[in-house]
């Protein structure tokens, strides 16, 4: 493999010195970019785009052509795994994702397959290999998956949900069955992330989008325990280098201490917690990634710059921060505002490092 | 006015001794009750129901006929205030609330009226008076309003929102204008709640449904500051008795300490924080109200009872807790499960009080 030219992102995740704070943006490849919308419309459906390694590579690289980002992230969807487990993912026009065969009883849990990533999710592994090749070592590539709890919410509900009625009904009424389901998903996600690492992902991130809707005890039992199992099952070295693991629970600011004990290398944090408090909670155990409110991209470049300054000041001096949004970039923001954010991080952050 | 027969709810809010923990449920008058659906269908639209004091009284009392609840809450909607401020509230079929005239610029903020509650929101005050009369002193009546920030989200967006793009766009881009708007809303809400108190509300609650989508600093500036202003402006005694004020920020578990300093009497808490931690955060300054996950009502009565036991144990011994859900009851729960919850609180809680 080509030598990595910019490894600032990987160094920050290992809390090693960097000359400035690395930055990428969740959902940086996406609808806010006209070139993305163009590729997407030529691809057919959203899943057609995910399933085409050349096009998935193209949209992965698009934001890197515009912005001096310090990492690329695989273009894909967290629901590829349940789809490969046999649930039949589809997108109803104008609605969110849906499954033809949601998992709501004992038999459905039993019937779930644990996919072989190089067979059943081959298109993802091919995308990882293609992107790695096309990156030419410019920046590292991040692989990712959904957390077992988050995937279970979609798999049990059969779609997006506001109330989590079915999955929490199972959690309160049949915790044994939900645990069986989460075990299978955790096994599938572990294989999937290891396959991404073997295919070339240089860091991996677990998105626990819905962990924050749980009580503290339920979070530990039904979300954190399975993320920990995944962390423990991952291959952590590839191409002679550590492969850092980032866990991100949206709304999980209260649980950073527990999350830092899983053996992961970094925690994603959203904007509802100050980085100073987050850093105090995790100490020197893990790096942090975050955490500006993505809505700041609706404001002027000047205001964005001030917001970046506040986040950097809140984290303070030293390595261990990867600058990011606290959630995915919204589809209606101006790409020039995203540029203003990335540039502000690079310009304002050297003051916080030993240069 | 008739003497209050059951004042357990008011005593718990003042952290005075009670023989068992009082309980009510957010949105206890609502769609999960067949008798509510019957009244609602005879009334016409949802707002027709709110605007008819006799029918609003009827649905307020319905849950009290089924369950041994310790408080009634006015049946109304937080959006009555922006409606009376001139925004033109309507409900599009199958969608959420909408405003004909959202507030998105300087002129729109200037044009906003601060309504006279006894004139412009007379139907609410009439409902309060009617309910008080029909309660015959059985339990106290809770009045309520939305927090200025929460109302502003609807007023600026013009509808419900997932991303808060417009209101946060204003917050980051024109904070001065948002502050002007919030000041007007705070003035309107203060008058509105004081009018409810004069009409007979024996406690009032401020619902800050969307405070939790803010960063800690933005929460203090744009939500908490205006709730504090309201608390400071309320008449706190009526009929020779203290009128307790409850503040509830959904997702605000991290900010209880700051919220306890506003001068309110109690804080609502959702299920994402343990009551033991919440109690430690607020000490003896305020009472707490919450906090079971409303999804537990999908489980069996036995499981509900166990969940109630856990919440009571987490709070521990002594007064200062009003048992409630951590959010409104979902429309598809079985009313018998709500009964199981209320009964479990009354049966299991005496062990935590000095009897």
> What percent of chain B has a predicted confidence (pLDDT) above 90?
95
* Cα A52 to Cα A131: distance, rounded to the nearest angstrom: 12
A330-354, pLDDT tens digit by residue?
Answer: 999 999 999 999 999 999 999 999 8
* Cα A142 to Cα A127: distance, rounded to the nearest angstrom: 12
Check: CB of residue A292 under 8 Å from CB of residue A314. Answer: no
* Cα B226 to Cα B210: distance, rounded to the nearest angstrom: 14
> What percent of chain B has a predicted confidence (pLDDT) above 70?
100
B189-248, pLDDT tens digit by residue?
Answer: 999 999 999 999 999 999 999 999 999 999 999 999 999 999 999 999 999 999 999 999
B1 pLDDT tier (thresholds 50, 70, 90): low
Instruction: Please report residues of B whose CB lies closer than 8 A to that of A164.
Output: 295
* Cα A26 to Cα A292: distance, rounded to the nearest angstrom: 11
Region for B5 from its dihedrals, namely left if φ exceeds 0, alpha if ψ lies in -120 to 50, beta otherwise: alpha
The stretches of chain A forming alpha helices (DSSP H) are 8-13, 34-43, 46-51, 53-66, 80-82, 106-111, 117-120, 122-135, 148-157, 165-173, 175-199, 216-219, 225-233, 256-260, 275-282, 301-315, 335-348
B63-107, pLDDT tens digit by residue?
Answer: 999 999 999 999 999 999 999 999 999 987 777 899 999 999 999
| CA distance, residue B164 to nearest chain A CA (Å) | 8
A258 pLDDT exceeds 80? yes
B143-198, pLDDT tens digit by residue?
Answer: 999 999 999 999 999 999 988 999 999 999 999 999 999 999 999 999 999 999 99
pLDDT of residue B28: 98
Handedness of CA A281, A283, A289, A294 (dihedral sign): positive
* Cα B189 to Cα B183: distance, rounded to the nearest angstrom: 10
List residues in chain B touching A: CB distance below 8 A. 163-165, 168-169, 171-173, 212-218, 251, 253-254, 271-274, 277, 293, 295-296, 298-300, 303, 307, 310, 330, 332
The DSSP bridge pattern shows strands A237-238 and A241-242 to be antiparallel
Cβ contact, residue pair A218, B168, below 8 Å: no
Is residue B153 classed exposed, middle or buried when 0-12, 13-18 and 19+ CB atoms within 10 A define those classes?
A: buried
Element (H, E) at B20: none
pLDDT of residue B93: 74
pTM across the whole model: 0.96
Check: CB of residue B151 under 8 Å from CB of residue B81. Answer: yes
Cβ contact, residue pair B295, A271, below 8 Å: no
Complex ipTM value: 0.94
Instruction: Please report residues of A whose CB lies closer than 8 A to that of B258.
Output: none
Check: CB of residue B130 under 8 Å from CB of residue B72. Answer: no
pLDDT of residue A273: 97
* Cα B140 to Cα B244: distance, rounded to the nearest angstrom: 11
| CA distance, residue A318 to nearest chain B CA (Å) | 23
A1 pLDDT exceeds 70? no
* Cα B337 to Cα B298: distance, rounded to the nearest angstrom: 8
* Cα A342 to Cα A65: distance, rounded to the nearest angstrom: 13
Cβ contact, residue pair B216, A273, below 8 Å: yes
* Cα B217 to Cα B221: distance, rounded to the nearest angstrom: 6
**b/e code B187-200 from CB counts within 10 Å (16+ = b):** bbbbbbbbbbbebb
Q: What is the mean pLDDT of the segment spanning A297-311?
A: 97
**b/e code B293-318 from CB counts within 10 Å (16+ = b):** bbbbbbbebebbbebbbebbebbeee
């Amino acid at each position: 493999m080509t030598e990595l030219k910019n490894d600032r992102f990987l160094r920050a995740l290992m809390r090693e010195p960097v000359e400035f704070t690395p930055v990428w943006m969740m959902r940086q490849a996406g609808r806010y970019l006209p070139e993305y919308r163009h590729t997407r419309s030529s691809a057919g459906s959203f899943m057609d785009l995910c399933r085409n390694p050349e096009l998935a590579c193209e949209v992965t690289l698009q934001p890197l052509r515009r912005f001096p980002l310090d990492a690329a992230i695989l273009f894909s969807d967290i629901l590829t795994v349940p789809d490969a487990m046999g649930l039949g993912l589809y997108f109803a026009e104008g609605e969110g994702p849906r499954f033809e065969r949601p998992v709501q009883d004992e038999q459905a849990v039993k019937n779930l397959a644990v996919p072989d990533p190089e067979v059943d999710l081959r298109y993802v592994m091919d995308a990882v290999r293609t992107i790695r090749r096309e990156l030419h070592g410019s920046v590292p590539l991040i692989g990712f998956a959904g957390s077992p709890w988050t995937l279970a919410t979609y798999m049990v509900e059969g779609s997006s949900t506001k109330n989590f009625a079915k999955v929490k009904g199972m959690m309160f009424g049949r915790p044994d069955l939900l645990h069986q389901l989460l075990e299978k998903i955790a096994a599938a996600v572990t294989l999937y992330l290891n396959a991404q690492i073997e295919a070339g992902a240089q860091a991996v991130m677990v998105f626990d989008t819905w962990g924050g809707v749980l009580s503290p005890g339920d979070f530990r039992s039904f979300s954190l325990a399975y993320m920990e199992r995944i962390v423990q099952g991952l291959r952590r070295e590839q191409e002679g280098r550590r492969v850092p693991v980032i866990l991100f629970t949206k709304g999980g600011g209260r649980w950073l201490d527990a999350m830092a004990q899983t053996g992961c290398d970094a925690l994603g944090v959203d904007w509802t917690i100050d980085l100073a408090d987050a850093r105090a909670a995790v100490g020197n155990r893990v790096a942090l990634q975050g955490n500006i409110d993505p809505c700041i991209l609706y404001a002027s470049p000047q205001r964005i710059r001030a917001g970046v300054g506040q986040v950097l000041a809140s984290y303070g001096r030293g390595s261990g921060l990867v600058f990011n949004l606290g959630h995915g970039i919204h589809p209606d923001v101006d790409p020039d505002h995203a540029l203003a954010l990335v540039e502000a991080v690079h310009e304002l952050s050297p003051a916080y490092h030993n240069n």
